[in-house]
Chain A
Amino acid sequence: MSDTAIEFSGVWKKFARGEQYDSLRDLIPSLAKWLFSTNHRGELQKKEFWALKDVSFRVGHGEALGIIGPNGSGKSTILKLLSRILRPDKGDLRVNGRLGALIELGAGFHPDLTGRENIYLNGTILGMKRSEIDRKFDAIVDFCELRDFLDTPVKRYSSGMFARLGFSVAAHVDPDVLLVDEVLSVGDYHFQQKCFDKMREFVQKGTSLIFVSHNMTAVSTLCTSALLLRKGEPVFQGDVSVAMQKYHSFYEEQTCSEYIELLEAEVRGSSGETREVFRPGEKLTFEVTLRALADIRDAHPGLMIHTMDGQCIFVTATSRLSAERLQLKKGECASVVFGLDMNLQSNVFLLGFTVTPELEVPGEWLYHNPRLKKIVMRDEHRSHGFVHLNPRADLFVEPRVERRAIATR
C-alpha cells in the first residue's frame, strides 16, 4: 500500500457560463456541433472557463490539508472532483481507501421519513452497508442527541436538528479519507465543538483530511499544510501560516476617496524599520501621510484592526485619544502617527485606516479602507484566541489546599 491517500495530478476542470440548452428543440444543433467538433474536453469553447487550472497536490495518510482562497477560486470544485461527482477534463486524481464527506449534510434525507429511517437511507447513500448501520446505530443517535425524536419525520425537525442528524450519520462512515467543507457552522456552540473534536479525532486516528474553510482559525488548528487557490490556480502549497499570509495579501487594497488621497502608509517597528511581522507585546507605529482633495474641517483619523474572517478586534480614533482635530485646506498634506502595543495572538490581521467627518454619521467617511495593511503576529507560546494576555502559569502540588478550594466554591 502506498503512503499516498490522495493524489491530484495536473487536474483541469472547466465549466460553462450562461444558460445551457435543456429542451429537445436545442438537441439538433448541439448534436451537430458535438459530431463535427473534433475536441471538446481539452480546450475551451465559447462561454467556457477554467474553474481549475493544472492543480496538483498530494496528501499522505494521516495528513490534513487545508484549502483556502477567495470565493470562486475552485475549492468546492476540488471537493466535488474528489468525491467523484464531477470528472476532470484533463489530468487525473487518485483516492486510496474509503472516502467520506462532511459536505452538504443531510442531502439524502427525505422529509417524510422519520429520523430512524433517514439514518438508514442516508447511511446507505454515503456507502455504508445496512449491517454496518445496525452496528453503529446507537453511536449515531447518541452523537446527535436526538433519541427522543427518532420516530418523528424529519420535516418536523428544526434546521439545527436536521444538520445534527446529517453530521452524525456522515461522521460515522469511518472513512480513510475525509472531505470537509465549511460544516462547522451547524448547530449551537456545543455541537460545533463536538463536530470539531470529532474531526480532530479522525486526524489522530490516521484519517487523511481535506478541509475547505474560510475560518482561518479552524484551518490553522486542524491542518498540517495548506493549499492556496486563486481563480482556479494554485498560488502556494505548504506551511499553513505562510499560505494564510499570502492569502491575506489578496485583501490589501487601495480605496479611492474624493476628499483624501493617501500618499504613504507604513507599519514600522520600535526602531523605525518597516515591518509586517510582530511578536506579542512589541510596539508598532502606524504612519499615514495624506493630502486633502477638498477643504476639510474638524475631521478625525482613526484605525481599526480586523481578523481575516472580518471580526473587528480593535477600533480607535484621534478624537478618542486627543482633542486635536484635522484642519486642512485643499492641497495641504498631513501625517498621522499611531502607536500600538501589539498584544495579539498568532494570526494574520488587517489594519485599516479611516477619516471621519466632524459629526460622526455611521457609514459616512471621508476616507475608509479597512484593509490597508496586513500584520502577521507570531507567538511561540501557541496559545489560542485573539488577545495576548501575557500568560504565566505556576503549578503548586498541595492536595489539601486544592480540595479546600473546591469545597468552598
Chain B
Amino acid sequence: MATTVVGAGSSHAAEEILQYRDLLFMLTWRDIKIRYKQSIMGFLWALLMPVLIVGSGLIVTVAFSTISGRPVNADDVLSVAVKAVPWAFFVAAIRFATNSLVMNKELVTKIYFPREILPVAAVLANCFDFAVAASVLALVLTVMKVGATAHLLWLPVLLGLLVLLTVGLALLLSCANLFFRDVKYLVEVLLTYGIFFTPVFYSANRLGKWSTALLLNPVSPILEAINDTVVGKRPPDAAWLTYSAAWAVLGSLLAWKIFQRAEAVFAEKI
C-alpha cells in the first residue's frame, strides 16, 4: 500500500506522473474532442493556420524576389510550407498550453493529480492537429514528387526536439500565467510577431551576417534543419542543432523544476 507523506516542501516524483499516464491520455483526448465537437469546420481547423501561414509566406517570397530580382523557385515555396506546419504547431501549442492551468481552475483547486499533466496534455492535443496537417503536407510533397532521402531519418529526432522545447516552454508559461494573468497577452503578442524572428518565410542565411541573431531563437535551427532534410536533401547543421537540443533538454528540465517548486501554491494563487 502506498504511503503518501506531505510536508511543507515535498513534491512528487517522475514515477507518479507515469502512474497518471491514463489521465494524460484522457485529458489529451478531451482537448482534441472538445475542439472538434459542435464545430462546422472539424478537421479543417488543423489545416487553417498552416494554410494561412503558407499563404502569407508566398506573398513575402514573391515580394522578396521582386525586390531582389531573383525569380521565385519551387523550392522556396516548398520551404515555406515545410516550415509553416511545425511553426503553426508551436504557436498553437504554446497559446493553448499557456492558458491550460487557468482554464482548468476547477480541477486545480479541487482534485489532486500532478499538474504537469495539464500543459503537457495541451501540447499533445496540438500534436494531433500537427499530425493531421503534416499528413496533408506529406501528401502534397509526394504529389509534387519531392523525393525521399536517407536524411529524412533525422525527422523523428527533429520533431522530438521541437515537442520537447514546446513542452518546456509550456510548463513555464502556464505556471507564469497562473500567477500573473497578463502573461497570456504577452505570449499572444510575442507569438504574433515571433514569425518575423524565426526563419519561416525565408531561410536564415538570406540575412547574411544577421543570420546568427535569427538562429539564436532555439526554434529557428530546428525549422532550418527540417527544411534541410526534407527540401534541401542534406544533413542539418550540427552545431546549431546541438544548440537547440541543449535548449530543449536543459530548458525543459529547468522549467519542470520551477513548475514543481511553484506547484505547492497553485491552488491558493490561481
Contacts and interface: CB of A to CB of B under 8 A. Distances in A.
Interface of A: 1, 15-16, 20-27, 41, 80-81, 83-99, 101, 103-104, 107-108, 110, 112-113, 117, 120-121, 124-130, 176
Given A15-B268, A80-B267, A90-B8, A107 B1 contact: no
B15 interface: no
B264 A83 contact: no
Contacts of A108: 106-107, 111
A103 B26 CA distance: 21
Contacts of B183: 24
A19 to B, nearest CB: 12
Contacts of A80: 267
Nearest to A20: B269
B267 A85 contact: yes
Nearest to B112: A84
B242 interface: no
A99 B25 CA distance: 21
Nearest to B26: A124
A125 B181 contact: no
Contact of A88 (B6, B26, B111, B268): B6
A96 B3 contact: yes
Given A88-B6, A97-B1, A117-B33, A125 B107 contact: yes
Interface in B173-215: 179-183, 186
A23 B38 contact: no
Contacts of A41: 8
A236 to B, nearest CB: 25
Nearest to B270: A22
Contacts of A112: 34, 37-38
Contacts of A15: 268
27 contacts: A22-B181, A24-B186, A41-B8, A80-B267, A83-B111, A84-B4, A84-B112, A87-B265, A88-B6, A88-B8, A89-B8, A94-B6, A96-B1, A101-B111, A104-B110, A104-B111, A107-B106, A107-B110, A112-B38, A120-B26, A121-B30, A124-B27, A125-B26, A127-B20, A127-B113, A130-B22, A130-B25
Central interface residue in B22, B113, B267, by most chain A CB within 10 Å: B22
A89 B182 CA distance: 28
B13 interface: no
B10 interface: yes
B111 A110 contact: no
Nearest to B113: A125
Interface residues of B, number: 38
Given A88-B7, A93-B5, A121-B27, 8 more contacts: A24-B182, A84-B4, A86-B268, A87-B6, A94-B6, A104-B110, A126-B111, A176-B1
B74 to A, nearest CB: 43
Interface in B112-143: 112-113
A23 B180 contact: yes
Contacts of B2: 96-98
Interface in B87-111: 106-107, 109-111
A26 B183 CA distance: 12
Q: What 7 A-B pairs are tightest by C-beta distance, nearest first?
A: A92-B7, A84-B112, A104-B110, A107-B110, A124-B26, A124-B23, A97-B1
A8 to B, nearest CB: 10
B56 to A, nearest CB: 30
Interface in B41-71: none
B178 to A, nearest CB: 9
A92 B6 contact: yes
Contacts of A20: 269
A312 B265 CA distance: 43
A289 B106 CA distance: 54
Given A84-B4, A94-B3, A95-B4, A129 B107 contact: no
A15 B110 CA distance: 17
Nearest to A7: B5
A1 B3 CA distance: 10
B28 to A, nearest CB: 11
Contacts of B3: 94-97
Interface in B208-224: none
Contacts of A84: 4, 6, 112
A20 B269 CA distance: 8
Interface string B237-270: 0000000000000000000000000001101110
A87 B11 CA distance: 10
A99 B110 CA distance: 14
A23 B186 CA distance: 11
Nearest to B23: A124
B119 to A, nearest CB: 16
Contacts of B27: 121, 124
A101 B1 CA distance: 18
B168 to A, nearest CB: 21
A35 to B, nearest CB: 15
A24 B106 CA distance: 23
Contacts of B182: 23-25
A89 B30 CA distance: 35
Nearest to B19: A127
Contact of B6 (A24, A90, A93): A93
A101 B6 CA distance: 17
Most buried by B among A21, A87, A95, A117: A87
Contacts of A98: 1-2
B186 to A, nearest CB: 7
